[in-house]
Amino acid sequence: PPQTFDFNYTEVSKGDRELECHAKGVYPRPVLTLSEQTASSSNFHVIPKVNVTTHQNSETQYFEATLRHTPHQSSHAGTIFECKLEIPQTNYIRRKRIKIFFPSKVQNE
């Protein structure tokens, strides 16, 4: 399992917000995916072409992966974003969710 696994929604500049999912201390190389569920849907849908960077620590051989995504300004209240961490060749899957109540308020789940 990862040493740390975090999922945050922050304001990076005035009016611009970013979702960031970060896993550290993972082996083998993890896979991060981002999905969303709108208030009008009961299913999560994978968001394609999300920026994910992964690098391996040369001393420990563990991986660190970061997923970053700027959601559309039109994300409505009730939208839930989910970051999923999978470790290939294992049964390990972990999810973290963030729900947007209003464009400026979120709840980590």
Q: Is residue 31 part of a domain?
A: yes
Residue type, 68: R
Q: How confident is the model at residue 27, as a pLDDT? A: 95
Residues 6+ apart with CB under 8 A from 74: none
Q: What is the mean pLDDT of residues 81-98?
A: 96
pTM of the model: 0.85
Q: Is residue 105 part of a domain?
A: no
- Measured from the Cβ of residue 22, the count of other Cβ atoms closer than 10 Å reads 18
Give pLDDT tens digits for 1-13.
Answer: 899 999 999 877 7
Q: Is residue 83 part of a domain?
A: yes
Q: Is residue 108 part of a domain?
A: no
Q: Is residue 106 part of a domain?
A: no
Number of domains in the chain: 1
Residue reference for tokens 């990076």? 12
In CATH, what number is assigned to the domain containing residue 24? 2.60.40.10
Q: How confident is the model at residue 42, as a pLDDT? A: 86
Give pLDDT tens digits for 32-66.
Answer: 999 999 878 889 999 998 999 999 999 999 999 99
Q: What is the mean pLDDT of residues 65-79?
A: 81
Contact 96, 83 (CB under 8 A): yes
Contact 34, 46 (CB under 8 A): yes
